[in-house]
Amino acid sequence: MKGYQIQEAFCSKLRLQIISNLISKKLFFTELKNLTNASDGNLSVQLKKLEGWEYIKSEKKLINGKGVTQYQITETGIKQFEEYVVFLESVIADKDNDIQ
């Protein structure tokens, strides 16, 4: 049996939801909150972690006089997510090889 090391960014369901939702488009904080059903505090903490790892970036905007924050995935985030998917595929392939 192999031991697998999963990157910290992908060890949280909420962080995976954030990254998965940002793969295809930029989203505002409120959109991410609605998509993930996370509390403001928990979502903020996870977004800051992902920004610290440079997986996502944020941009503050004024819309109708109100400050909003929009998030998007970075090239690093895309690359790391793609590597995570390849990792998962290898885990599945190893499982299939062990069964046969």
Global confidence as pTM: 0.85
User: Residue 36 is part of which domain span?
Assistant: 8-99
Q: What is the pLDDT of residue 1?
A: 40
Average pLDDT over residues 34-59: 97
Q: Does residue 50 fall inside a structural domain?
A: yes
Q: Does residue 1 fall inside a structural domain?
A: no
Q: Does residue 3 fall inside a structural domain?
A: no
23 pLDDT exceeds 80?
yes
Cβ(80)–Cβ(55) below 8 Å: yes
What is the total count of domains within the chain? 1
CATH code of the domain covering residue 29: 1.10.10.10
Average pLDDT over residues 10-24: 95
72 pLDDT exceeds 60?
yes
Q: What is the pLDDT of residue 37?
A: 97
Q: Does residue 60 fall inside a structural domain?
A: yes
